């Protein structure tokens, strides 16, 4: 291949645009997830007052403790964890 084609001004401009676009796309996917996680780890007063951005305010894990103490959740989670590899293996072998 002609190496001058990949070092042209247009190619460099396209690569730069690609890097910027893909970085913004990745950020638009990751930042909402980070925000939801920081909301879930913040206390109710800070979350309700819209004080939480990307770092938890008033770190609190009470809701996670409540969920993981629930035996129905644990049982459902274990069923999902045990069935996923089984069904994946069955689907891949078919």
Residue 94 sits in which domain range?
A: 70-94
Does 5 score more than 70 pLDDT? Answer: no
Contact by Cβ (8 Å): 45, 62: no
Judge if 44 and 79 occupy the same domain. no
Q: What is the pLDDT of residue 2?
A: 57
pLDDT digits 0-9 by tens, 17-45: 999 999 999 999 999 999 999 999 999 88
Together in a domain, 92 and 47: no
**How far is the C-alpha of 33 from the C-alpha of 52, rounded, in Å?**
13
**Residues whose CB falls within 8 Å of the CB of residue 58, separated by 6 or more in sequence, listed in order:** 42, 43, 45, 46
Residue 65, in any domain of the structure? no
Would you state the structure tokens that stand for residue 80, as one six-digit string? 């999902």
Q: With the C-alpha atoms ordered 27, 32, 38, 41, is the resulting torsion angle positive or negative?
A: negative
Q: Are residues 39 and 82 in the same domain?
A: no
Residue 20 included in any domain: yes
Query: Could you tell me if 42 and 58 are in contact, meaning their C-beta atoms sit under 8 angstroms apart?
Result: yes
DSSP classification of residue 50: T
Residues 39 and 21 in one domain: yes
């Amino acid at each position: 291949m002609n190496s001058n084609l990949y070092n042209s001004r247009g190619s460099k401009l396209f690569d730069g645009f690609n890097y910027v676009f893909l970085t913004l796309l990745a950020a638009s996917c990751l930042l909402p997830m980070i925000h939801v996680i920081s909301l879930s780890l913040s206390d109710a007063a800070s979350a309700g007052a819209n004080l939480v951005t990307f770092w938890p305010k008033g770190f609190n894990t009470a809701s996670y403790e409540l969920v993981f103490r629930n035996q129905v959740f644990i049982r459902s989670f274990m069923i999902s964890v045990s069935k996923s590899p089984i069904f994946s293996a069955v689907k891949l072998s078919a």
